[in-house]
Amino acid sequence: LNSFKVTINPFNKTVEIAENSSLYDAIHKSGIPIHADCGGEGKCGKCRVIVDKGDYRSEKNRLVTPEDSARNIVLACRTFPGSDITITIPDKTLLPYDYIEPLRSCPIAIKAETIDPLVKRFSLRLEEPSLDDNISDLERVKRGLKKAGVSGAIGCSLATMRKLAPLLRENGWMCDIYLLSADNSIVDAGRPSGGSRKLGIAIDIGTTTVATEFVDLESGRSIASHSLYNRQISCGADIIHRIVFSQKDDGLEKLRSLILATINETVKKITGESGRPREDIICAVLSGNTTMEHLLLAIDPKYIREEPYIPAATRFPILTAQAVGLDIPPHSPVMLTPSVGSYVGGDITSGVTASGMNNSDQLTLFMDIGTNGEIVIGNSEWMIACACSAGPAFEGGGIGDGMTATSGAIESVKIFDMNRPPVLTVIGGGQPRGICGSAMIDLMSELYYCGLINQKGKFNPDISKMIRKIKNTLGYIVAPKERTEHGKDIVITEIDIANLIRAKGAIWAGVSTLLKKLEIPFGDLQRVLIAGGLGNSLDIERSVSIGLLPDVERDKFCYLGNASLSGARLALLSEKARRELDEIASKMTYVDLSTTPGYMDEFVAALFIPHTDASLFPSMSS
Ligand code: FES
C-alpha cells in the first residue's frame, strides 16, 4: 500500500497514513481532538474540514451541500486522500482545549463527620535498632504504627518493602507511612514530608467532560479543581458510539489513552496553578458510568450494548496509579466507584451517596441529566433506577450551536421583544459562542410561551423577524453575529428543538414509567434532586414548563451540580461514604426500560411541550 502525508492546519502538523485511510484517521493519528459525534460513521456532519491542497475522494453524503463541495469542505471521515494533502480544521470542528469552569458542587455533599481518608499518613519517629532490639525494618514500622493507634493486622506492598531499608537509614529512622484504610496495608513510605504530602484527587469521568478536584485529606478542604472536554469525543459523542469505536483495531487502547490524556492534563493544570507538586498526591477516587470505567481500564465494553447487556465488571479492586496509568505517584491507591449494571454506573452510586438520599426517609427522585439520563427513586429503605437514552442534547451534543456549561456559553435567555434579539447571560461575561443546557431549557420555554413555536416545537415564521430560514430548516437567532465571539449567528433550529424534545421526552418517560411501576403518584414525591452538567443557571420553573421536570411544589427541588464528583470527593474523605457506595450498588434495583411495558407510550406522549396530557402540568395551564 502507498502512504500519503496529511498536513493539518492551523497546527502545521504532518502525519503519514496508509492509502485507504481517511482524513479522520489522519486527524486521530495527529492527536488533535475534534468533534465527531457519530464516531466516524458519516452521520453527524461534525467532522467537517477544508481541503486546501491535494487530491482526494469524498463519498457522497447528504450532510455536504453543493456549496460546501464548491468550497472544498468535506467530512473527514468520508474523505480519502489520493496524494499528499493539506487540510484546515475549522474552529467549529475542533474540540476546545480550554479548561471548563467546574460546575457548582453539590450543596448537601459536605457531611459533618469525622474525616477518615482512603489513605492515611503517619509520621513516625522509630527507635534505632540494636543487638537487643533487632526486629526487621518492616516490623519496626508496624510497631510504630501500632503505637500511633493502628489496630489489627497490617500488610505491606512489595514496592514499599523494597524502599524501606535505605529510607529509614537515610532519614535517621524517621519516615512517613501511607496506610490504605480498606485493608490496613502500607501502600507507600517516604521521607518525612512535614505534612505536605496529603492530597487526594477526586475525578468525575463524564462522557462529555472530565472534572478533577484536589482535596486535602486531613482538613477535607478542596484545594482546586478543573474540567476539560473528554478527548474521547473524537471517537463519538455518546457511550454507544464509543463502544462501537472500541471494537475497531486499536480502538480500545486509543480510547484508554484519550481518557488518560484528559485526566492527566487536568492534574497537570491543577498542579501548575495550585503550586502543589503531583508528588503530594497519595490516592485517587474516580467515578464514571460503567462504559467510561471499562474504557479507562481497557476492559472490553462490547457486551454492555448487546442483549442481555452484561458489563465485564461492576466493582473493581483498589488498583495503583501505575496500573491505571494516572500520572501521579505510581503506588498511589486508585478506587473506582461501583456500578449497578451496564447503564447505571459509578457516577450514579457516587451522586446518590453525595445527595444523602440513601440516609433519608423522604421519598426522593434523583435525576442525573448528563450525556445520558439516569433516574433513581427511593429512600433509605429501597432504591430503583433506570437509564433513559436521552442523548447528549442538554450537554450540547447534537445541537448545532450547543456546548457544555463553560466560559462563553449562553446560560440564560429571556425574550422581551419578539422582533429583537433576546436578553442573554453568558458564562464568564464575554461574548457568547454557544448555548448550554440551562439556556436550551429557557429557549424552549420562552419560544413556546411567546407563541414562536407550537407544542410540537415547530416555528411560526410569520410572527417574529428573529425566525429565519437556515439551510433546509427554520431557526431562531439567539445571538446575532455582531454580538458573538466567532462572528457568526448563534441559532436554535427546528432540528435542535426536535432533539431537545426527544431528550426531555426520554427523561420524562423514564420518571413516569418508574413511578407507574411503583404505583406512586407524582405528588407523593417529597424531594426532587437534579444532578448533571446543565449549568448553574438551571431554572426550575422553566424546566417544569417544558415538561422536563414534574409539576410538584418548587421547594422540593434542589440542583446538585456535579454530584458524581462530590461523591468521589466524599469517598476520598469518609469510610462511611465508601461503605455506603457499596451498599447503594447492592441495594439498587435496575429496571431496563426497553423491556418495560408502557415506556414507549410514555415517551411518545411526552414529545410535546409540555406534554400531551396537560393535566400533568396544572400550574402551567394557570
Ligand atoms: S460525520 Fe464524520 S464523525 Fe460524524
Cα of 161 to ligand 1 centre, how many Å?
51
Given this model, what pLDDT does residue 110 score?
47
| Mutation probe of ligand 1 site: the residue of 23, 35, 46 with most atoms within 8 A of C-beta | 46
- pLDDT on residue 102: 54
Q: At what angle do helices 346-355 and 563-573 cross, to 10 degrees?
A: 80
pLDDT of residue 622: 62
What's the rounded mean pLDDT across residues 582-591?
Answer: 96
| pLDDT per residue as tens digits for the range 594-617 | 888 899 999 999 999 999 998 999
Query: Using 50, 70 and 90 to split pLDDT, how confident is the model at 109?
Result: very low
Which residues have C-beta atoms less than 6 Å from ligand 1? 36-38, 40-47, 75, 77
pLDDT at 559 over 90: no
What mean pLDDT do residues 315-334 have?
97
Q: Which of 137-151, 454-468, 521-535 has the lowest mean pLDDT?
A: 521-535
Instruction: State residue 535's pLDDT score.
Output: 64
User: Which atom of ligand 1 lies nearest, measured to the CA of 78?
Assistant: 2
Indicate if the pLDDT at residue 590 is higher than 90.
yes
CA-nearest of 440, 406, 553 to 104 is: 406
pTM: 0.92
- Whole-angstrom distance, CA of residue 47 vs CA of residue 64: 11
Residue 63, CA distances (Å) to 68, 73, 196, 494 in order: 9, 11, 55, 16
The whole-number pLDDT of residue 306 equals 94
Residue 405 has pLDDT above 50, yes or no: yes
Joined together, the cell numbers standing for residue 343 give 447503564
pLDDT at 527 over 80: yes
**Bigger pLDDT: 91 or 513?**
513
* Residue-level pLDDT at 176: 95
Is the predicted pLDDT of residue 567 greater than 50, yes or no?
Answer: yes
Mean pLDDT for all residues in the chain: 92
When pLDDT is cut at 50, 70 and 90, the band that residue 301 belongs to is very high
Mutate to test the pocket of ligand 1, among 23, 27, 41, 232 (most ligand atoms within 8 A of CB): 41
Residue 533: pLDDT band by 50, 70, 90 thresholds?
Answer: confident
Report which of 573, 569, 550, 533 is spatially closest to residue 219, judged by C-alpha positions. Answer: 573
Nearest CA among 29, 25, 59, 20 for reference residue 39:
25
The answer to whether 613 touches 620, Cβ cutoff 8 Å, is no
Closest CA to 57 of 14, 9, 8, 22: 22
CA of 418 to the centre of ligand 1 (A): 35
- Interval 217-234: pLDDT, tens: 988 889 999 989 999 999
| pLDDT at residue 100 greater than cutoff 70 | no
Distance from Cα 259 to the centre of ligand 1, integer Å: 20
- Which of 133-142, 221-230, 445-454 comes out lowest in average pLDDT? 221-230
Structure confidence at residue 403 (pLDDT): 87
The ligand 1 atom at the shortest distance from the C-alpha of residue 77 is: 2
User: pLDDT tens for residues 328-376?
Assistant: 999 999 999 999 999 999 999 999 999 999 999 999 999 998 777 899 9
Over residues 231-249, the mean pLDDT reads: 94
Average pLDDT over residues 49-61: 95
What value does the mean pLDDT take over residues 132-136? 96
What pLDDT is recorded for position 610? 94
Phi-psi region of 31 (alpha: psi -120 to 50; beta: other; left: phi over 0): left
Prior bond of 10 cis (ω within 30°)? yes
- pLDDT for position 196: 80
pLDDT at 428 over 90: no
Dihedral sign, CA of 205, 209, 214, 220?
negative
Cα-to-centroid distance, 397 and ligand 1 (Å)? 13
Of 207, 206, 296, 211, nearest in space to 255 by CA:
296
pLDDT at 287: 97
